[in-house]
Amino acid sequence: MTSSYDPGRRSLLAAGASALAAAGLGGMTDAKAQAAPAATQARPLPPYVSWKNPNNLIVHTATTIETKRSAFGTSVITPADRLYIRNNLPAPDVSIVADRDAWTLAVEGVRGPRTLSVAELKSLGLETLATVLQCSGNGRGYFADKPSGTKWQVGAAGCVIWSGVAVRTVVAALGGLASGGRFMTGTGGERLPDGLDPKSVMVERSVPLSAMEDALLAWEMNGEPLPHAHGGPLRLVVPGYSGVNNIKYIKQLAFTAAETDAAIQKTGYRISPPGQKGDPSHPAVWEMDVKSWINAPAPEAGSPVRAGWVQIHGVAMGGTQAVRRVDVSVDGGQTWQQARLVGPDLGRFAWRQFVLPVKLAPGNYLLASRAQDVKFNWQAESTPENAGGYLNSGWRVHALPVTVT
Protein backbone atom coordinates (compact mmCIF):
# COMPACT_ATOMS: atom_id res chain seq x y z
CA MET A 1 0.00 0.00 0.00
CA THR A 2 0.95 3.35 -0.43
CA SER A 3 1.80 4.25 3.17
CA SER A 4 -1.33 5.62 4.74
CA TYR A 5 -3.70 5.91 7.66
CA ASP A 6 -7.32 6.71 8.22
CA PRO A 7 -8.18 10.03 9.93
CA GLY A 8 -11.16 8.65 11.82
CA ARG A 9 -9.66 5.62 13.43
CA ARG A 10 -6.00 5.89 12.77
CA SER A 11 -4.94 8.89 14.74
CA LEU A 12 -5.21 11.83 12.37
CA LEU A 13 -7.19 14.23 14.51
CA ALA A 14 -10.11 16.20 13.17
CA ALA A 15 -7.99 19.31 13.51
CA GLY A 16 -5.34 17.57 11.48
CA ALA A 17 -7.80 16.89 8.67
CA SER A 18 -8.62 20.58 8.50
CA ALA A 19 -4.95 21.41 8.41
CA LEU A 20 -4.41 18.97 5.57
CA ALA A 21 -7.13 20.64 3.57
CA ALA A 22 -5.61 24.01 4.26
CA ALA A 23 -2.25 22.65 3.14
CA GLY A 24 -3.71 21.95 -0.27
CA LEU A 25 -4.23 18.20 -0.11
CA GLY A 26 -7.52 18.74 -1.88
CA GLY A 27 -9.21 15.46 -0.89
CA MET A 28 -11.94 14.41 1.47
CA THR A 29 -11.18 12.43 4.57
CA ASP A 30 -12.02 8.73 4.39
CA ALA A 31 -15.09 9.35 6.55
CA LYS A 32 -16.45 11.89 4.08
CA ALA A 33 -15.70 9.57 1.20
CA GLN A 34 -17.84 6.98 2.92
CA ALA A 35 -20.78 9.39 2.93
CA ALA A 36 -20.57 10.07 -0.82
CA PRO A 37 -19.78 6.80 -2.62
CA ALA A 38 -21.54 7.74 -5.84
CA ALA A 39 -19.59 10.97 -6.27
CA THR A 40 -16.23 9.29 -5.82
CA GLN A 41 -16.72 7.15 -8.91
CA ALA A 42 -16.99 10.18 -11.19
CA ARG A 43 -14.14 12.24 -9.74
CA PRO A 44 -11.38 13.24 -12.15
CA LEU A 45 -7.78 12.38 -11.39
CA PRO A 46 -6.09 15.02 -9.23
CA PRO A 47 -3.27 16.92 -10.96
CA TYR A 48 -0.41 15.11 -9.19
CA VAL A 49 -1.44 11.84 -10.85
CA SER A 50 -2.80 13.23 -14.11
CA TRP A 51 -0.30 10.97 -15.91
CA LYS A 52 -2.25 7.88 -14.86
CA ASN A 53 -4.93 6.28 -17.04
CA PRO A 54 -8.33 7.32 -15.62
CA ASN A 55 -10.12 4.49 -17.44
CA ASN A 56 -8.40 1.99 -15.17
CA LEU A 57 -9.00 3.73 -11.87
CA ILE A 58 -11.68 4.55 -9.31
CA VAL A 59 -11.09 7.92 -7.63
CA HIS A 60 -12.50 7.77 -4.11
CA THR A 61 -10.75 10.98 -2.99
CA ALA A 62 -7.68 12.90 -4.08
CA THR A 63 -5.58 10.63 -1.87
CA THR A 64 -7.40 7.30 -2.30
CA ILE A 65 -7.40 5.97 -5.86
CA GLU A 66 -8.18 2.32 -6.61
CA THR A 67 -7.32 0.08 -9.55
CA LYS A 68 -10.41 -1.39 -11.19
CA ARG A 69 -10.63 -5.16 -10.89
CA SER A 70 -10.83 -5.47 -14.67
CA ALA A 71 -7.67 -3.35 -15.11
CA PHE A 72 -5.17 -5.76 -13.54
CA GLY A 73 -4.85 -7.65 -16.80
CA THR A 74 -3.09 -10.99 -17.18
CA SER A 75 0.53 -9.96 -16.72
CA VAL A 76 2.32 -10.19 -13.40
CA ILE A 77 3.45 -6.58 -13.12
CA THR A 78 1.07 -3.69 -12.46
CA PRO A 79 1.94 -0.70 -14.67
CA ALA A 80 2.58 2.55 -12.82
CA ASP A 81 -0.25 4.31 -14.64
CA ARG A 82 -2.82 2.00 -13.09
CA LEU A 83 -1.26 1.40 -9.65
CA TYR A 84 -3.37 2.53 -6.70
CA ILE A 85 -2.67 5.60 -4.56
CA ARG A 86 -3.07 6.06 -0.81
CA ASN A 87 -1.46 8.99 1.00
CA ASN A 88 -1.49 10.34 4.55
CA LEU A 89 -0.11 13.79 4.12
CA PRO A 90 0.82 16.27 1.42
CA ALA A 91 3.92 15.06 -0.36
CA PRO A 92 7.11 17.07 -0.31
CA ASP A 93 7.27 19.51 -3.19
CA VAL A 94 7.71 17.82 -6.56
CA SER A 95 11.00 19.69 -6.93
CA ILE A 96 12.63 16.96 -4.81
CA VAL A 97 12.76 14.72 -7.89
CA ALA A 98 14.50 17.35 -10.02
CA ASP A 99 17.82 16.17 -8.55
CA ARG A 100 17.02 12.72 -7.26
CA ASP A 101 20.57 11.87 -6.29
CA ALA A 102 20.68 14.83 -3.88
CA TRP A 103 17.92 13.46 -1.60
CA THR A 104 19.41 12.43 1.73
CA LEU A 105 18.67 9.72 4.27
CA ALA A 106 19.83 9.76 7.90
CA VAL A 107 20.73 6.28 9.18
CA GLU A 108 20.81 5.79 12.96
CA GLY A 109 21.18 2.87 15.32
CA VAL A 110 24.29 1.65 13.51
CA ARG A 111 27.92 1.79 14.64
CA GLY A 112 28.71 4.54 12.17
CA PRO A 113 25.55 6.67 11.92
CA ARG A 114 25.55 9.20 9.11
CA THR A 115 23.49 10.87 6.42
CA LEU A 116 23.75 9.44 2.92
CA SER A 117 22.61 10.90 -0.37
CA VAL A 118 20.85 8.77 -2.94
CA ALA A 119 24.00 9.06 -5.04
CA GLU A 120 26.00 7.54 -2.17
CA LEU A 121 23.40 4.82 -1.65
CA LYS A 122 23.71 3.90 -5.33
CA SER A 123 27.43 3.39 -4.84
CA LEU A 124 26.90 0.85 -2.05
CA GLY A 125 24.96 -1.82 -3.94
CA LEU A 126 22.09 -2.79 -6.19
CA GLU A 127 19.24 -5.25 -5.86
CA THR A 128 16.04 -5.78 -7.84
CA LEU A 129 12.97 -7.27 -6.21
CA ALA A 130 9.33 -7.84 -7.14
CA THR A 131 6.79 -7.37 -4.35
CA VAL A 132 3.09 -6.99 -3.78
CA LEU A 133 2.29 -3.50 -2.57
CA GLN A 134 -1.07 -3.64 -0.83
CA CYS A 135 -2.89 -1.10 1.30
CA SER A 136 -3.63 -2.37 4.79
CA GLY A 137 -7.31 -1.60 4.16
CA ASN A 138 -7.62 -3.44 0.86
CA GLY A 139 -10.85 -5.44 1.08
CA ARG A 140 -12.32 -3.16 3.76
CA GLY A 141 -15.45 -2.73 1.67
CA TYR A 142 -16.30 -6.39 2.20
CA PHE A 143 -16.46 -6.31 6.01
CA ALA A 144 -20.05 -6.67 7.24
CA ASP A 145 -19.52 -4.26 10.14
CA LYS A 146 -18.71 -1.48 7.64
CA PRO A 147 -15.69 0.01 9.43
CA SER A 148 -14.98 3.64 8.66
CA GLY A 149 -12.49 4.39 5.92
CA THR A 150 -12.29 4.01 2.18
CA LYS A 151 -14.34 1.03 1.03
CA TRP A 152 -11.55 -0.58 -0.98
CA GLN A 153 -12.48 -3.77 -2.78
CA VAL A 154 -9.48 -5.48 -4.42
CA GLY A 155 -7.84 -2.55 -6.19
CA ALA A 156 -5.65 -1.12 -3.42
CA ALA A 157 -2.88 -3.46 -4.45
CA GLY A 158 -0.40 -4.11 -7.21
CA CYS A 159 2.73 -6.08 -8.01
CA VAL A 160 5.74 -3.97 -8.92
CA ILE A 161 9.48 -4.35 -9.47
CA TRP A 162 11.75 -2.23 -7.30
CA SER A 163 15.43 -1.45 -7.76
CA GLY A 164 17.61 -0.05 -5.01
CA VAL A 165 20.09 -1.02 -2.36
CA ALA A 166 19.42 -3.66 0.29
CA VAL A 167 19.05 -2.23 3.78
CA ARG A 168 21.35 -4.94 5.13
CA THR A 169 24.06 -3.72 2.71
CA VAL A 170 23.76 -0.16 4.00
CA VAL A 171 23.91 -1.37 7.60
CA ALA A 172 27.04 -3.41 6.87
CA ALA A 173 28.67 -0.40 5.18
CA LEU A 174 28.03 1.65 8.33
CA GLY A 175 29.68 -0.86 10.63
CA GLY A 176 26.73 -3.04 11.50
CA LEU A 177 23.94 -2.56 14.01
CA ALA A 178 24.55 -0.87 17.32
CA SER A 179 23.48 -2.86 20.36
CA GLY A 180 19.88 -2.91 21.50
CA GLY A 181 18.09 -2.61 18.17
CA ARG A 182 14.86 -4.60 17.99
CA PHE A 183 12.93 -2.65 15.36
CA MET A 184 13.56 -1.02 12.02
CA THR A 185 11.90 2.41 12.09
CA GLY A 186 11.36 4.48 8.95
CA THR A 187 10.32 8.14 8.89
CA GLY A 188 8.74 9.78 5.85
CA GLY A 189 9.61 13.20 4.52
CA GLU A 190 6.08 14.50 3.95
CA ARG A 191 5.16 18.08 4.80
CA LEU A 192 3.65 18.28 8.29
CA PRO A 193 0.74 20.65 8.93
CA ASP A 194 1.53 23.64 11.12
CA GLY A 195 0.19 23.85 14.64
CA LEU A 196 0.02 20.12 15.36
CA ASP A 197 2.16 17.78 17.42
CA PRO A 198 4.33 16.14 14.74
CA LYS A 199 3.92 12.75 16.42
CA SER A 200 0.15 12.97 15.90
CA VAL A 201 0.40 13.11 12.10
CA MET A 202 3.85 12.06 10.93
CA VAL A 203 4.37 8.88 8.94
CA GLU A 204 6.79 6.87 11.06
CA ARG A 205 6.50 3.12 11.31
CA SER A 206 8.42 0.42 13.14
CA VAL A 207 8.64 -3.21 12.02
CA PRO A 208 10.46 -6.15 13.60
CA LEU A 209 14.21 -6.11 13.00
CA SER A 210 13.95 -9.39 11.08
CA ALA A 211 12.27 -7.47 8.22
CA MET A 212 15.60 -5.77 7.54
CA GLU A 213 16.94 -8.88 5.83
CA ASP A 214 14.65 -8.43 2.81
CA ALA A 215 14.09 -4.65 2.94
CA LEU A 216 15.17 -2.33 0.14
CA LEU A 217 15.79 1.37 -0.24
CA ALA A 218 14.31 1.80 -3.70
CA TRP A 219 14.86 4.57 -6.24
CA GLU A 220 13.34 2.82 -9.25
CA MET A 221 9.95 1.18 -9.94
CA ASN A 222 9.09 -0.92 -12.98
CA GLY A 223 12.22 0.20 -14.78
CA GLU A 224 11.61 3.93 -14.34
CA PRO A 225 12.76 6.45 -11.73
CA LEU A 226 10.42 6.09 -8.76
CA PRO A 227 7.44 8.41 -9.41
CA HIS A 228 6.99 11.25 -6.96
CA ALA A 229 3.40 10.08 -6.37
CA HIS A 230 4.70 6.70 -5.23
CA GLY A 231 7.42 7.95 -2.90
CA GLY A 232 10.21 9.13 -5.18
CA PRO A 233 13.04 9.83 -5.02
CA LEU A 234 13.50 7.17 -2.31
CA ARG A 235 11.16 4.69 -0.64
CA LEU A 236 11.59 2.02 1.98
CA VAL A 237 10.24 -1.29 0.68
CA VAL A 238 9.45 -3.95 3.29
CA PRO A 239 8.52 -7.12 1.35
CA GLY A 240 5.55 -9.06 2.65
CA TYR A 241 4.39 -6.21 4.88
CA SER A 242 1.30 -4.10 4.22
CA GLY A 243 1.72 -0.80 2.42
CA VAL A 244 1.79 1.56 5.41
CA ASN A 245 5.13 0.04 6.41
CA ASN A 246 6.67 0.87 3.02
CA ILE A 247 7.66 4.45 3.82
CA LYS A 248 7.53 7.04 1.03
CA TYR A 249 10.05 9.90 0.79
CA ILE A 250 12.06 8.20 3.49
CA LYS A 251 14.26 10.67 5.38
CA GLN A 252 15.38 8.61 8.36
CA LEU A 253 16.00 4.92 8.94
CA ALA A 254 16.70 4.01 12.54
CA PHE A 255 17.27 0.75 14.37
CA THR A 256 15.55 1.22 17.69
CA ALA A 257 15.01 -0.62 20.95
CA ALA A 258 11.29 0.20 20.98
CA GLU A 259 8.54 0.92 18.49
CA THR A 260 8.03 4.55 17.59
CA ASP A 261 5.52 6.46 19.68
CA ALA A 262 4.11 8.22 16.61
CA ALA A 263 0.33 7.91 16.59
CA ILE A 264 0.31 6.03 13.28
CA GLN A 265 2.12 3.23 15.14
CA LYS A 266 1.06 3.63 18.75
CA THR A 267 -2.70 3.66 18.20
CA GLY A 268 -3.06 3.53 14.42
CA TYR A 269 -2.90 0.40 12.30
CA ARG A 270 -3.74 -1.99 15.10
CA ILE A 271 -6.00 -5.03 14.82
CA SER A 272 -8.48 -3.76 17.38
CA PRO A 273 -11.85 -5.28 18.24
CA PRO A 274 -14.84 -3.58 16.60
CA GLY A 275 -15.82 -0.43 18.42
CA GLN A 276 -12.50 -0.05 20.23
CA LYS A 277 -9.75 2.48 19.63
CA GLY A 278 -6.29 1.28 18.72
CA ASP A 279 -4.01 0.43 21.58
CA PRO A 280 -0.33 -0.65 21.73
CA SER A 281 -1.48 -3.95 23.22
CA HIS A 282 -3.36 -4.79 20.00
CA PRO A 283 -1.44 -6.54 17.20
CA ALA A 284 0.24 -4.18 14.75
CA VAL A 285 -0.69 -4.30 11.08
CA TRP A 286 2.51 -5.79 9.73
CA GLU A 287 2.73 -8.95 7.61
CA MET A 288 0.14 -9.65 4.94
CA ASP A 289 -1.82 -12.89 4.83
CA VAL A 290 -2.09 -15.41 2.03
CA LYS A 291 -4.76 -14.07 -0.29
CA SER A 292 -6.21 -14.34 -3.80
CA TRP A 293 -9.06 -12.99 -5.88
CA ILE A 294 -10.54 -13.44 -9.34
CA ASN A 295 -10.17 -10.60 -11.84
CA ALA A 296 -12.10 -12.02 -14.76
CA PRO A 297 -14.73 -12.54 -15.85
CA ALA A 298 -15.68 -9.37 -13.95
CA PRO A 299 -19.12 -7.74 -14.20
CA GLU A 300 -17.54 -4.27 -14.11
CA ALA A 301 -15.89 -4.90 -17.48
CA GLY A 302 -19.32 -4.40 -19.06
CA SER A 303 -19.18 -7.32 -21.47
CA PRO A 304 -21.67 -10.19 -20.99
CA VAL A 305 -20.28 -13.59 -20.13
CA ARG A 306 -21.29 -15.99 -22.89
CA ALA A 307 -21.98 -19.67 -22.32
CA GLY A 308 -19.14 -21.96 -23.28
CA TRP A 309 -15.49 -22.01 -22.33
CA VAL A 310 -14.50 -19.25 -19.90
CA GLN A 311 -10.98 -18.48 -18.68
CA ILE A 312 -11.29 -17.67 -14.98
CA HIS A 313 -8.15 -15.84 -13.93
CA GLY A 314 -6.84 -13.76 -11.05
CA VAL A 315 -3.92 -13.16 -8.71
CA ALA A 316 -2.64 -14.83 -5.56
CA MET A 317 -0.09 -13.71 -2.98
CA GLY A 318 1.50 -15.38 0.01
CA GLY A 319 2.53 -12.40 2.13
CA THR A 320 6.02 -13.30 3.29
CA GLN A 321 5.82 -16.76 1.68
CA ALA A 322 5.61 -17.92 -1.91
CA VAL A 323 2.33 -19.16 -3.37
CA ARG A 324 2.15 -22.95 -3.78
CA ARG A 325 -1.26 -23.45 -5.39
CA VAL A 326 -4.65 -21.85 -6.06
CA ASP A 327 -8.04 -23.54 -6.18
CA VAL A 328 -11.10 -22.10 -7.92
CA SER A 329 -14.80 -22.72 -7.27
CA VAL A 330 -17.73 -21.81 -9.51
CA ASP A 331 -20.35 -22.65 -6.88
CA GLY A 332 -19.33 -20.41 -3.99
CA GLY A 333 -16.97 -22.88 -2.35
CA GLN A 334 -19.03 -26.07 -2.43
CA THR A 335 -16.55 -27.72 -4.79
CA TRP A 336 -13.03 -26.75 -5.86
CA GLN A 337 -10.69 -27.33 -8.79
CA GLN A 338 -6.99 -26.64 -8.83
CA ALA A 339 -6.05 -23.75 -11.10
CA ARG A 340 -2.82 -23.43 -13.09
CA LEU A 341 -0.20 -20.85 -12.15
CA VAL A 342 0.82 -18.92 -15.25
CA GLY A 343 3.53 -16.46 -16.17
CA PRO A 344 6.95 -15.97 -14.62
CA ASP A 345 7.64 -16.66 -10.96
CA LEU A 346 9.19 -13.39 -9.75
CA GLY A 347 9.93 -14.61 -6.25
CA ARG A 348 8.15 -15.23 -3.00
CA PHE A 349 7.04 -11.62 -2.46
CA ALA A 350 5.42 -11.22 -5.89
CA TRP A 351 1.95 -12.40 -6.72
CA ARG A 352 1.19 -15.21 -9.14
CA GLN A 353 -1.35 -15.15 -11.91
CA PHE A 354 -3.64 -18.19 -12.06
CA VAL A 355 -6.16 -19.49 -14.59
CA LEU A 356 -8.82 -22.18 -14.72
CA PRO A 357 -10.68 -22.86 -17.97
CA VAL A 358 -14.25 -24.00 -17.32
CA LYS A 359 -17.23 -24.68 -19.55
CA LEU A 360 -20.24 -22.80 -18.19
CA ALA A 361 -23.88 -23.20 -19.20
CA PRO A 362 -26.28 -20.25 -18.91
CA GLY A 363 -27.04 -19.46 -15.30
CA ASN A 364 -25.78 -17.71 -12.18
CA TYR A 365 -22.40 -18.56 -10.65
CA LEU A 366 -20.37 -17.48 -7.65
CA LEU A 367 -16.69 -17.58 -8.55
CA ALA A 368 -14.24 -17.93 -5.67
CA SER A 369 -10.54 -18.62 -5.27
CA ARG A 370 -8.40 -19.71 -2.37
CA ALA A 371 -4.60 -19.73 -2.29
CA GLN A 372 -2.09 -21.84 -0.39
CA ASP A 373 1.48 -20.84 0.46
CA VAL A 374 4.57 -23.05 0.44
CA LYS A 375 4.11 -23.70 4.16
CA PHE A 376 0.67 -25.19 3.34
CA ASN A 377 -1.27 -22.33 4.92
CA TRP A 378 -4.60 -21.90 3.14
CA GLN A 379 -6.27 -18.57 2.59
CA ALA A 380 -8.87 -18.17 5.31
CA GLU A 381 -12.55 -18.44 4.48
CA SER A 382 -13.20 -15.27 6.48
CA THR A 383 -11.23 -12.60 8.33
CA PRO A 384 -12.42 -11.52 11.78
CA GLU A 385 -14.01 -8.09 11.88
CA ASN A 386 -11.73 -5.39 13.28
CA ALA A 387 -12.22 -1.71 13.99
CA GLY A 388 -9.99 -0.46 11.20
CA GLY A 389 -11.11 -2.90 8.54
CA TYR A 390 -7.57 -4.16 8.03
CA LEU A 391 -6.05 -7.18 6.28
CA ASN A 392 -9.28 -8.64 4.90
CA SER A 393 -8.17 -11.77 3.09
CA GLY A 394 -11.23 -14.02 3.43
CA TRP A 395 -12.00 -15.82 0.20
CA ARG A 396 -15.75 -15.94 0.72
CA VAL A 397 -16.34 -12.17 0.72
CA HIS A 398 -14.03 -11.77 -2.28
CA ALA A 399 -16.13 -14.17 -4.36
CA LEU A 400 -17.47 -12.78 -7.61
CA PRO A 401 -21.10 -13.30 -8.75
CA VAL A 402 -21.38 -13.80 -12.49
CA THR A 403 -24.36 -14.33 -14.80
CA VAL A 404 -23.70 -16.39 -17.91
CA THR A 405 -26.04 -15.89 -20.87
- State how beta strands 250-256 and 104-108 pair: parallel
Give percent of the chain with pLDDT exceeding 70: 89
Give the mean pLDDT of 202-219. Answer: 98
Give the mean pLDDT of 343-350. Answer: 97
Give the mean pLDDT of 337-357. Answer: 97
> Residue 301's pLDDT is what?
64
Q: How far apart are CA 379 and CA 326, in angstroms?
A: 9
pLDDT tens sequence across 138-185: 999 999 999 999 999 999 999 999 999 999 999 999 999 999 999 999
> Residue 302's pLDDT is what?
66
> Among residues 22, 1, 71, which one has the least CA distance to residue 300?
71
Cα→Cα distances 339→232, 357, 368, Å: 37, 8, 11
| Whether pLDDT at 127 is above 80 | yes
Res. 361 pLDDT band, cuts 50 70 90: very high
Burial of 42 per CB tally in 10 Å (0-12, 13-18, 19+) = exposed
| Whether pLDDT at 313 is above 70 | yes
| Whether pLDDT at 8 is above 70 | no
Per DSSP, 156 falls in state S
Q: Are the beta carbons of 390 and 287 closer than 8 angstroms?
A: no
| Whether pLDDT at 2 is above 60 | no
Cα→Cα distances 154→84, 108, 133, 293, Å: 10, 37, 12, 8
Q: Are the beta carbons of 385 and 143 closer than 8 angstroms?
A: yes
- The size of the chain, in residues, is 405
pLDDT tens sequence across 44-81: 999 999 999 999 999 999 999 999 999 999 999 999 99
- pTM of the model as a whole: 0.88
Give percent of the chain with pLDDT exceeding 90: 86
Which phi-psi region, left, alpha or beta, contains residue 233 (left: φ > 0; alpha: ψ -120 to 50)?
Answer: alpha
Q: Are the beta carbons of 110 and 177 closer than 8 angstroms?
A: yes
